[in-house]
Structure 1
Amino acid sequence: MKNNLPQVWRTGERTLRYSFGEGISRDIYQSVHSFSDFILSELGYFIEEVVPSYHTVTVFFHKSSTLDTLKIDELLEKWEVLELDNRLFSTRQITIPVCYESPYCEDITRIECITGLSQDEIIHLHSNKIYTIYMIGFLPGFPYLGDLDPALFVPRLEKPRVKVPKGTIGIGGSQTGIYPIESPGGWNIIGRTPLDIFSLQRENPFLLKAGDQLKFASIGHKDFKEIEDEMKNDRDAVYRFIAEVGV
């Protein structure tokens, strides 16, 4: 099967950007990351950095490189006939426990008003979906999750909060994600996880990575408190709780 040809344009003296569309999907994600590996293998000597996003690949070339001498057309012709690497998607599946109850669901009334759904319906739609982590960014370890049910698409807050607690689960537009640390934020708050998604006290600070499959599991206050207390005593306890809820 032939690969889709990306659109390409120059964004700086030493920068090219390749676009694979505008949507958020597994197919585009796979094309983006396959192309990132491909261009590194073909032009690695000339490249300073490759930055993939949801649907683009931005390539930064060394100062000594001259873009005009690079044979972009030949490169794209070679890419077009290559097979996509189907191994890109991680087989790791993680389930994150979430308490969707007050006081962790500050914007649930707003979401109900916009969507016309009840709180139970919102929780059901949000927690009965397997999400792909398309990108880590914005904050250390912040997972951008695609594939949110369209019924839950809700615009971001007009005025972002100054402080959003770590572990907060938010919805912003067509995406959902987890705040790994306390920070400002404008996403609609739907719940909170007691797990530390990011912790400098662990050997591996980042719990999640791009390509992981993720599902949320609804828990009550009692379970939330028990997990939170154990996390305070042992940061590595996060791995036990993930295993318990379905990795």
Structure 2
Amino acid sequence: MENNLPEVWRTGERTLRFSFGEVISAEIYKSVHTFTEFLNANWKHFIEEIVPSYHTVTVFFYKSSILDKLNMEKLLAKWRSYKIDCIISSARQVTIPVCYEEPYCEDLTRMQRLIGRAKDEIIHLHSQKIYTVYMIGFLPGFPYLGDLDPKLFVPRLDKPRLKVPKGTIGIGGNQTGIYPIESPGGWNIIGRTPLEIFSIKRSNPFSLKAGDRLKFTPVTNAEYEEIEREMKNDWHTIDGFIEEVDI
């Protein structure tokens, strides 16, 4: 079976972008992930950096003159028959404890009104899924997660907040994510996690990476406070919430 060919266009003096469409899906992400590995294998000596996203792969080359010498036709012909299966066989699964109770769920009432569902149903729909971390961006360590249940799609706030606390779980449009640090933001706040998914107190500040699986699990206020205390006593590591799984 042949792989889908991406659209290609030049986005700067030293950059190319490959697009696999506009849809956010596990299948597109798999193509993006595999195409990134494919480019690394075939153009490694030309490439300074590769930046994958939901459905695009942006490539930064060492020199602008390299782009004029690339044989794009040959590369894409090779990609057509590249084996895309069995590339992603395992992943880390991170369990994120979330308190969906007051004072951490400022916009749950708004969501109930907009989508016509009870609080318990919203929490269930949000926490029953296993999400894929498609990319890290917007803020240091901010995970963009795919596969949000369509029943939870809700518009961003008309007026973004100036301060959203770190650990906040939000929904904006067809996406959900975690604010790793305090920042402005316009997503609907539905809960908060005591885990520090970004911390400069660790040798590696970033707890999550593209390709991780992520599962939200509801906790009470008391459980939230207990985990928060443990995090402070254990150098902010979340290793105890990570396991390796087959996919």
TM-score (ref. length: structure 1): 0.93
Question: Matches of residues 157-236 of structure 1 in structure 2 within 5 Å?
Answer: 157-236=157-236
Q: SS at the partner of 1:77? A: helix
2-structure distance, mates of 1:120, 1:210: 30
> CA 1:60 to 1:239, structure 2 compared with 1: closer, same or farther past 3 Å?
closer
1:110 to partner: Cα distance: 1.0
2-structure distance, mates of 1:101, 1:187: 17
1-structure distance, mates of 2:64, 2:227: 53
Unaligned runs of 5+ in 1: none
Output the amino acid matched with 1:222.
A
1:213-240 per-residue CA deviation (whole Å, 9 max, x = no partner) reads 1111101111011111222222245333
1:151 to partner: Cα distance: 0.3
> CA 1:71 to 1:129, structure 2 compared with 1: closer, same or farther past 3 Å?
same
Q: SS at the partner of 2:77? A: helix
1:139-198 per-residue CA deviation (whole Å, 9 max, x = no partner) reads 111111110000000111111111100100000111100111111111100000011111
Question: Matches of residues 33-182 of structure 1 in structure 2 within 5 Å?
Answer: 33-63=33-63, 65-88=65-88, 90-182=90-182
Output the amino acid matched with 1:194.
P
1:2 to partner: Cα distance: 1.6
1-structure distance, mates of 2:97, 2:64: 50
1-structure distance, mates of 2:144, 2:43: 29
Q: 4+ residue stretches of structure 1 with deviation over 4 A?
A: none
TM-score (ref. length: structure 2): 0.93
Q: Is the 8 A contact 2:11 2:17 kept in 1?
A: yes
2-structure distance, mates of 1:43, 1:238: 36
2-structure distance, mates of 1:239, 1:63: 40
Identity %: 68
Output the amino acid matched with 2:115.
T
2-structure distance, mates of 1:115, 1:157: 14
